[in-house]
Amino acid sequence: MIKAIIVEDQKHCVRRLETLIEENAPNVDVVGVFDNVDDAVKGTEKLKPELVFLDIEIQDKTGFEYLEALKNPDFNLIFTTGHPRFAKKAFKYS
């Protein structure tokens, strides 16, 4: 099983992503969902996920701030955003 977390502040997006994962990726186990950057950083350090589904705009911060706050990120990353203007910057991280 691939241990994953979701960092997303909109509940309907979390539910949709969880459904997509359940239907299409049975080997992915979502072990945590975080709706703000600070909790996501703490959760990442504690849970040590192999895969992170990351929104770009998360309350008053960004997914990029989440990535910059991590000491030694060691996971695969999937950006989940509806904002195409962030695509170029996202590709640099992923």
What is the rounded distance in angstroms from the CA atom of residue 60 to the CA atom of residue 62? 7
User: pLDDT tens digit string along 48-88?
Assistant: 999 999 999 999 999 999 999 998 899 999 988 766 666 55
CA 88 remoteness from chain centre: 17
pTM for this structure? Answer: 0.88
pLDDT above 70: residue 47: yes
How many CB atoms are located within 10 Å of the residue 84 CB?
Answer: 8
Q: Indicate the pairing of strand 51-54 with strand 57-58.
A: unpaired
